[in-house]
Homo-oligomer: A and B are copies of this chain.
Amino acid sequence: MANEKEVMVKMVLDTWFSRVKETDKWLSQLSDAQLAADVSPGKNSGHYLLGHLVAAHDGMLPLLGMGEALHPQLREPFLMKPDKSGAAFPSLDTLRAMWTEVSAKLDEAFRARSAEEWFQRHNSVSAEDFEKEPHRNRLNVVMSRAVHLAYHNGQLALLKKD
């Protein structure tokens, strides 16, 4: 039987990959016109949410010590600013391609990590703090981003016409 760290890594990565797959499903089912709409009147558009998710996931690369962000220019319009700020957005075609690219990059990097490495600290916690708070590890970043993704998947689901 696998050791406990390996079991825990599988639990979290399975959760991550299934949530990404769910987003893939919405993106394949939603037309650009549907994605351009607000998830509920006056709330965030699918266009903004897609950019927000790409930017959030892209930021996991440096946080997890997996290289530089591929598209740091997305931080300003999609993480620092709310929707309808007047900031220019990349087209939906561009964001769909970036989503696929960033997901593939994370997929590859995640699968290359050993269980030991997952339980090391992530890059925004100091060595001293990590000594006292060993739950602030890389695997926890993936779990909290999977939860964040689920939150927005619940909103993207509303764009689907029955």
Residues of B contacting A43 in the complex (Cβ-Cβ under 8 angstroms): 158
A139 to chain B, nearest CB (A): 7
The A70-90 residues at the B interface (CB cut-off 8 A) are none
Number of copies of this kind of chain in the complex: 2
Q: A150-B150, A158-B43 are in contact. Are A135 and B19 (CB under 8 A)?
A: no
Contact A14 B152 (CB under 8 A): no
Select the stretch in A4-12, A26-34, A58-66 that faces chain B.
A4-12
Given contacts A42-B162, A146-B147, A147-B147, 4 further A-B contacts (CB under 8 A): A2-B134, A11-B143, A12-B143, A39-B158
- Rounded to whole angstroms, the CA-CA distance of A10 and B140 in the bound complex is 10
Contact A4 B119 (CB under 8 A): yes
- Rounded to whole angstroms, the CA-CA distance of A144 and B11 in the bound complex is 9
Residues of B contacting A119 in the complex (Cβ-Cβ under 8 angstroms): 4, 7
9 A–B contacts, CB within 8 A, in A order: A1-B131, A2-B134, A7-B137, A12-B143, A41-B41, A43-B158, A147-B147, A151-B153, A158-B158
> Does A67 count as interface, using CB distance less than 8 angstroms?
no
Interface flags for A92-117 (1: CB within 8 Å of B; 0: not) read 00000000000000000000000000
Residues of B contacting A131 in the complex (Cβ-Cβ under 8 angstroms): 1
Contact B15 A4 (CB under 8 A): no
Contact B10 A135 (CB under 8 A): yes
